[in-house]
Amino acid sequence: MGEPGEPGGLRDLALDWQFLRSTKGALLGTELALCFLIFLLLTVSASAYMAPALLEALLTAGALSLRLTRCQERAPRIHWPCLDFLRSASAALVFLVVSPAAIAASREGPAVSAFTFGLILIAMFAYDAFSTYWAEIRPEPAQDGNGNLA
């Protein structure tokens, strides 16, 4: 074990529990729970469509674990907001395709539930992509010397 100031000690493995209390942390946690729920529902009803839900659950779990362990701070050359935007935007597109296809394949109760939760998840992923873009990616408008937009 290293000294408290040394990198590589056990303090590097500490989780950022404050992140889970933030809006982004709650959003990622809810996205993960809904992705996993939809995966389970599709496994029961329309198993041909369970792979995309599992993939999105794994990608969301990876994004959440990277944020909880603050790994993004250790790799500053990677543009993390752009990766997060691409993850959430692609997930919205995936569920936009998978949710209607699952209900078309099976009209059973679990498929209808997967469709309903899929619509909620599409809105959540779209909001996540939109808020990530506007808060962290969007270029600032150019201003002249007087503070007016150019």
- Label residue 11 by pLDDT band (50, 70, 90): low
Q: Look at residue 54 in the predicted model and tell me its pLDDT.
A: 95
Collapsing DSSP states into helix, strand and coil, what is residue 105?
A: helix
pTM given for the model: 0.82
Q: Look at residue 46 in the predicted model and tell me its pLDDT.
A: 84
Helices (H), 9-143: 17-21, 23-45, 50-68, 80-105, 109-132
Looking at the domain 16-137, which fold is it? Four Helix Bundle (Hemerythrin (Met), subunit A) (1.20.120)
Domain ranges of the chain: 16-137
pLDDT tens by residue, 97-147: 999 999 998 888 999 999 999 999 999 999 999 999 999 888 777 666 666
Bigger pLDDT: 47 or 13? Answer: 47
Closest CA to 135 of 84, 101, 62: 84
